[in-house]
């Protein structure tokens, strides 16, 4: 069982075992039976019913090796770890068997693209390999690791977001690669890799943190060549909710693997504590949620956004549970979780769970050009059941469900 869920209490495991049949017989389960299950199980089962083939999670007509699939499937893998229900495991494995050849090659993946997003699906492979012993999973892990061994970097060691975005670090990229590399370092005893992982988090804060608010800007261009980059600082102009959510999740996940005696562990915990204070300061007091553009909640067009809210709740409650944050942050996380359930979650008559109001995508540069303005962020497409909200909702739910007393 993963470190995250080792402390599950007996009552919770008994509850889980009483409802795991829901995933095994999703179509036949009654709405009443579904309602007895924890939210993590209900959402995971809903994903599986909506998308019987996991490669259709986001692009139903075109299989993709993409970070979004890794995000949701990692969450479902965690549900399997808690429930022991093999239907979750089989669902996750079917995606990876679709893409990974017996030689360990990954279909739809090219190392030479140096796209940091493509590392994220690799997080699931550690557990798959341990459980199945299939050599192809380990070969795929080593392939992804080899990308990061030669991935281009800024001058102080931070990874570029992609080769097509030269000299740029984005908050998103810290989540895509750092937890993967930290688990790789632990699994394959590559101790020096822990230093690199720690440096990614610290370099990002060094360049992107705003001293006034404590929030981090979405991107930083060392070259100052991008139109979105401030000519003096190289920073993009706004605080994007999900961007900071990626960064917050990255830190708590890296700390699962970073050795307790690593010299930079206290420094990383301090980064997270500063970040948590900044996140709490921009929480909407009425709903407990967070806005698409974090510090401009009252501005016309801004909206409460589900993926960022789920990511913050996950990071904050996990931070409290592991002792990185003071107890006061539990109430902040609980208020956020209650807000998610009240505002974004909808349950259909047949028991399927939906999550609404997610920013479909946001980035910087590219073609058509994304300038990082306020108007850009608020006008991107808004979706329901987007993987970038579904995965963090499951993860946040698991964290709450593993507490000693049920909240819902």
Q: What is the pLDDT of residues 46-57, one digit of tens each?
A: 999 999 999 999
CA atoms within 13 A on the CB side of 28: 3
Whole-number Å distance between alpha carbons of 147 and 169: 17
Q: Residue 304: helix, strand or coil by DSSP?
A: strand
Assess whether pLDDT exceeds 80 at residue 20: no
Q: In whole angstroms, what is the distance from residue 214 CA to residue 278 CA?
A: 5
Q: Which residue has the higher pLDDT, 407 or 153?
A: 153
Phi, psi of 240 (to 5 degrees): -90, 130
**Is the separation of the CB atoms in 201 and 251 below 8 Å?**
yes
Q: What are the domain boundaries of the chain?
A: 3-401
Q: Is the pLDDT confidence value at 35 over 80?
A: no
Annotated catalytic residue, options 85, 172, 196, 253: 172
> What does the pLDDT average to over 215-228?
98
Per-residue pLDDT for 22 more than 70?
Answer: no
Residues linked to residue 169 through DSSP beta bridges, in sequence order? 220
φ, ψ (nearest 5 deg) of residue 219:
-140, 160
Least confident range from 35-39, 220-224, 239-243: namely 35-39
Distance between CA atoms of residues 237 and 240, nearest Å: 9
Q: Rounded to whole angstroms, how far apart are CA atoms 401 and 396?
A: 9
Residue range 250-257: mean pLDDT, rounded: 98
pLDDT tens, residue by residue, 98-117: 999 999 999 999 999 999 99
Q: What is the pLDDT of residue 33?
A: 57
Range 38-67 average pLDDT:
93
pLDDT of 258 higher than 90 = yes
What does residue 355 show for φ and ψ, rounded to 5 degrees? -125, 130
**Local confidence band at 19 (pLDDT 50, 70, 90 cut-offs):** very low
Please, which pLDDT band fits residue 324 given cuts at 50, 70 and 90? very high
pLDDT at 58: 87
pLDDT at 100: 98
114 Cβ neighbours under 8 A, 6+ residues apart: 147, 150, 151, 152, 160, 162, 163
At residue 321, the pLDDT reads 98
Whether this prediction's pTM lies above 0.85 is answered by yes
Question: For residue 44, how far is the Cα from the chain centroid?
Answer: 15
Check pLDDT > 80 for residue 16.
Answer: no
pLDDT of res. 32? 58
pLDDT the model gives residue 319: 98
Is the pLDDT confidence value at 44 over 90? yes
Exposure pattern of 7-27 as b/e (b: 16+ CB <10 Å)? ebeeebeebbeebbebbeebe
pLDDT band of residue 59 (cuts 50, 70, 90) is confident
Give the residue with greater pLDDT, 343 vs 34.
343
CA atoms within 13 A of residue 220's CA, in its CB half-sphere: 24
DSSP H/E element including 342: helix 328-343
Taking the C-alpha atoms of residue 400 and residue 317, their distance in angstroms, rounded to an integer, is 7
Q: Is pLDDT of 407 > 70? A: no
Q: Average of pLDDT values for 134-144?
A: 98
* CA–CA distance, 107 with 204 (Å, rounded to integer): 31
- Which neighbouring-strand residues pair with 359? 382
Given this model, what pLDDT does residue 36 score?
80
Q: In whole angstroms, give the CA distance from residue 262 to residue 243.
A: 27
pLDDT at 291 exceeding the cut of 60: yes
Residue 65 CA to residue 54 CA, distance in Å, equals 11
More confident residue, 4 or 383: 383
Helices vs strands, H then E, count in the chain:
16, 6
The token duo for 26 is 């999703």
Return all residues near 97 (Cβ < 8 A) that are at least 6 apart: none
| pLDDT value for 27 | 41
What is the structure's pLDDT at 34?
A: 59
Q: Taking the domain 3-401, which CATH number applies?
A: 1.50.10.10
Question: 219, 172 in Cβ contact below 8 A?
Answer: no
CA atoms of 232 and 260, how far apart (whole Å):
38
* Residue 172 among the catalytic residues: yes
The arithmetic mean of pLDDT across residues 394-407, rounded, is 84
CB 401 within 8 A of CB 43: no
Say whether pLDDT at 25 is over 90: no
| CA–CA separation, 233 and 110 (whole Å) | 32
Q: What is the pLDDT of residues 329-385, one digit of tens each?
A: 999 999 999 999 999 999 999 999 999 999 999 999 999 999 999 999 999 999 999
Residue 204 has pLDDT above 50, yes or no: yes
- Round to whole Å and give the CA distance between 221 and 326: 34
Half-sphere exposure of 252 (CA within 13 A, CB side): 29
């Amino acid at each position: 069982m993963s470190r995250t869920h080792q402390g599950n209490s007996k009552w919770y495991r008994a509850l889980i075992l009483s409802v795991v049949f829901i995933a095994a017989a999703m179509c036949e389960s009654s709405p009443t039976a579904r309602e007895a299950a924890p939210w993590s199980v209900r959402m995971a089962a809903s994903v599986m019913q909506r998308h019987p083939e996991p490669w259709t999670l986001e692009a139903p007509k075109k299989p993709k090796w993409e970070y979004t699939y890794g995000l949701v499937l990692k969450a479902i893998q965690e549900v399997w770890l808690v429930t022991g229900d093999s239907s979750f495991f089989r669902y996750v494995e079917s995606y990876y068997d679709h893409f990974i050849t017996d030689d360990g090659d990954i279909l739809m993946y090219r190392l030479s693209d140096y796209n940091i997003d493509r590392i994220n699906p690799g997080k699931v492979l550690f557990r798959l390999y341990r459980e199945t012993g299939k050599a192809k999973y380990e070969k795929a892990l080593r392939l992804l690791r080899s990308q990061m061994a030669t991935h281009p970097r800024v001058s102080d060691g931070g990874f570029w977001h992609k080769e097509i975005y030269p000299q740029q670090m984005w908050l998103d990229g810290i989540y895509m690669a750092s937890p993967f590399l930290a688990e790789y370092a632990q699994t394959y005893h590559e101790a020096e890799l822990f230093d690199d992982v720690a440096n990614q988090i610290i370099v990002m804060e060094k360049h992107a943190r705003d001293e006034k608010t404590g929030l981090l800007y979405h991107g930083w261009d060392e070259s100052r060549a991008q139109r979105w980059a401030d000519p003096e600082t190289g920073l993009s102009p706004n605080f994007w909710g999900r961007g900071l959510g990626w960064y917050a999740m990255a830190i708590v996940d890296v700390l699962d693997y970073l050795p307790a005696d690593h010299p930079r562990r206290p420094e990383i915990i301090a980064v997270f504590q500063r970040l948590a204070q900044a996140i709490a300061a921009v929480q909407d007091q009425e709903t407990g949620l967070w806005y698409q553009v974090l510090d401009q909640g009252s501005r016309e067009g801004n909206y409460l956004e589900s993926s960022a809210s789920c990511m913050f709740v996950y990071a904050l409650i996990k931070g409290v549970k592991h002792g990185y944050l003071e107890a006061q942050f539990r109430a902040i996380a609980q208020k956020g979780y209650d807000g998610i359930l009240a505002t974004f979650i909808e349950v259909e008559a047949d028991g399927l769970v939906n999550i609404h109001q997610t920013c479909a995508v946001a980035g910087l540069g590219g073609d058509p050009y994304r300038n990082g303005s306020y108007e850009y962020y608020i006008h991107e497409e808004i979706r329901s059941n987007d993987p970038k909200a579904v995965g963090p909702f499951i993860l946040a739910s698991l964290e709450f469900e593993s507490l000693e007393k049920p909240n819902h």
